[in-house]
Amino acid sequence: MLAWPDPSPWDSTTPAALSRPSTSSEYKYSNLPSPPNAFSSVDQNSFGAYTLHSTGIPDFLLAPYFQNILCHEAPLPETLHWWQQPNLRNLYLLMPFLFLGSTTLGYDGSLVNGLQTMPAWQNFFGHPTGGSLGIIGAMPGFGGLAVLPFAPYIVDNLGRRAGIALGCLVVSFGALLQAFPKAGDPTPMYLAGRFFIGFGGNLTNAACPLLITEISHPRHRGRATTIYNTLWYLGSVIAAWTGYGTLVHLTGDVQWRLPTGLQCVMPGILLLCLWFVPESPRYLLSKEKDEEALAFLLKYHGDCGQESFARWEYSEIRETLHMEKAAAASSGWHELVRTPGNRKRCFLIICTAIFSQCSGNGLVSYYLSSILNTIGITNSKNQALINGGLAIWSWLVSLSFAFAVDKIGRRTLFLVAGIGMLITFSIWTACSAVYAQNGSTGAGSAVLAMIFLFYGVAGLAWPGLTVSYTVEILPYNIRAKGLTLCFVFTQLAGIFNQYVNPIGLENLQWKFYFVYIAVLIIECLVIFFFFVETKGPTLEEIALLFDGENANVMSEPMSEKIPHISEQGHIETVDRR
């Protein structure tokens, strides 16, 4: 039983449910001030289930009224050095394994570039060009589209970790199919393998950023989620230089089978190490596993004197989830467009997805060999070297700015990247036209320089912010579905890149670039007029930027007030054994 102080001051205002809580321990509460008159209108549902946590605090004490009793206000430290917090440090040392979800997709993207430079691969598949080459490049996109309708249900119902594990298994299976297709007619099995690569890779990619976002401390969330997508380039680096090594040192079919088969290594490592990665506290709370969620937050976010912040964070997540459920009886797909705020989110998500693929970057990501052929660079070894160098350059730039995202801001990086890409791509197009007309080696060299500069400015925002920005602007109840929407349009845009680009390059050559100049102009305008800055607030508080007064968020945001346990009252435990 709960032993309350003299109830006389509460006779007319205490909800009946509070006088009869049931538990195996006895608690005494002292020095509790009288609740406000409005307290009488609050029913039992306002407080949730009255369960007792191992920490010694019942659930209902985390309701807003009792927070005011137990807490006073203090700001969250402006800087929080994760390496000085033992438990948080251990958590972040596991992050690189989750980053492998992005690295796996990057490996596949650059692998196709590398394979096209290998005579053994060209001979084995009959020198594919145009539509034949396009379908090979586009098949992972079809696999991604196939899994995305199911991905949010898997990660919401089975958990983020379960979604990652299933995706890793499917990617490994697809890699083996790709590496060992039937000799007589290899294309069907090879395409099937690429389909499964896209299926499993996008399931993993739907779960990894959610888990990273939801287990990161709010002070580090922006950098962690941005670094995740920049690791796409690490996969690109590994694939590019693996392909170069096999091209130079190996002969025959092993030249392309080895880098293809190695595609299962990274998901294999992620699968093995996933056992040590904790589940998302937001997912745990959504499944009413409150004790596990609070234990996670206290251990990792409440380290070294930050326990009161961890309790506040638990309360904010829990209250936000309750309000979201109350606001929408169902979190079905219609919720994505039910409110003006959600419609704006969907617009930004779709734009982000399309811009991430259709800004000219897809030309180089999958068909660099074809572009280099148009400016006179036809030697396989030289093409492989350029592919490897571009991969390293792109990764270093994107990774560097991932650490600056919380200082510079998301919208600013998007805008600077868009304008820079428009300028460099326009020069690239002009130099390509000059080379096509008179074969000027200077113009060809300028095209190569512009390709590197283009990827340099693109790395300021793309792909690092593609996923992190999407995840940040979505409330929990539609976060998985909203991220799925992002991936659907990413895959559709990717299919356009991978299937249409080789056809356009084959028929229009440099004139095809004008399509992307038009896209880049639209991109800059949309970013300038519509994109919302999300630097600073927590995931829950970002809802205020989109929903205003209708946002389902606690009334006291972290950016203004952070509670700490006060000495206005205390709780004594009386063990009844």
Q: What is the pLDDT of residues 187-228, one digit of tens each?
A: 999 999 999 999 999 999 889 988 998 888 877 777 787 788
Model pLDDT, residue 299? 87
Mean pLDDT of the chain, nearest integer? 79
Q: In sequence order, which ranges of 216-338 are alpha helices (DSSP H)? A: 221-230, 232-249, 254-261, 265-273, 281-286, 290-296, 307-327
- Domain coordinates in residue numbering, the chain: 1-74+568-577, 83-282+327-544
How sure is the predictor about 63, in pLDDT bands with cuts at 50, 70 and 90? very low
> Stretch 80-97: mean pLDDT, rounded?
80
Which is nearest to 510 in space by CA: 558, 439, 410, 569?
439
Kindly give, in sequence order, each residue whose CB lies less than 8 Å from that of residue 509, ignoring residues fewer than 6 positions away: 374, 432, 436
For residue 57, pLDDT beyond 50 = no
CA 253, 254, 255, 260 torsion: positive or negative? Answer: positive
Model pLDDT, residue 501? 84
| Cβ pair 202, 148 in contact under 8 A | yes
Two tokens at 164? Answer: 């990652």
Two tokens at 546? Answer: 């989109």
Beta partners for residue 30, in sequence order? 570
CA dist., res. 515 & res. 517, Å (int): 6
| Cβ pair 228, 99 in contact under 8 A | yes
Least-confidence region, from 56-65, 134-143, 251-260: 56-65
pLDDT tens digits, one per residue of 512-566: 999 999 999 999 999 999 999 988 777 667 888 888 776 665 544 444 444 443 3
Q: Helix and strand tally (H, E) in the chain?
A: 26, 5
CA dist., res. 454 & res. 93, Å (int): 33
| Domain 83-282+327-544, architecture per CATH | Up-down Bundle (1.20)
CA dist., res. 272 & res. 332, Å (int): 33
Two tokens at 326? Answer: 């109350």
| Cβ pair 184, 126 in contact under 8 A | no
pLDDT tens digits, one per residue of 238-296: 999 999 999 999 989 999 999 999 999 999 999 999 999 999 999 999 898 999 999 99
CA-based diameter of the chain, in Å? 96
How sure is the predictor about 46, in pLDDT bands with cuts at 50, 70 and 90? very low
| Cβ pair 281, 296 in contact under 8 A | yes
3-state secondary structure of 407: helix
Model pLDDT, residue 34? 38
CA dist., res. 520 & res. 129, Å (int): 27
